[in-house]
Amino acid sequence: MSSDPSVFPSIDIDECKGCGRCIAACPRKVLRFASRPNRKGFIPAEYTGEGCTACAICYYNCPEPYAITVVDEREGEA
């Protein structure tokens, strides 16, 4: 699968608890820990900016139900 800028993980930094499960699970290694803590004091995950294929493995490995959403803006595809 190739990278497409219209697909990416959207991470709600205030919902992320910084467990790192999404980072470890991502087969493309496009997630990392942010350099600053969120308002709750956790170091959230962040998208590196390229390489996501919308596989949603990060979403399925995240224990927080509202922390990660995989955005797919490609027309005609879901």
pLDDT tens figures, 13-68: 999 999 999 999 999 999 999 999 999 999 999 999 899 999 999 999 999 999 99
Residue 1 lies in a domain: no
If pLDDT is split at 50, 70 and 90, which confidence band does 75 have?
Answer: low
Residue 30 lies in a domain: yes
10 vs 72, higher pLDDT: 10
Domain ranges, residue 46: 7-72
pLDDT for 77 beyond 60: no
Q: 16 and 42 in contact (C-beta within 8 Å)? A: yes
Residue 18 lies in a domain: yes
One-letter amino acid for residue 16 of the chain: C
Q: Which two tokens stand for residue 22?
A: 């999404």
Domain count, the chain: 1
Supply the CATH number for residue 14's domain. Answer: 3.30.70.20
75 vs 59, higher pLDDT: 59
Which residue, 56, 65, 49, is CA-closest to 22? 56
Dmax (CA) for the chain in angstroms is 40
Q: CA angle, 10 as apex, 36 and 52 as ends, to 5°? A: 105
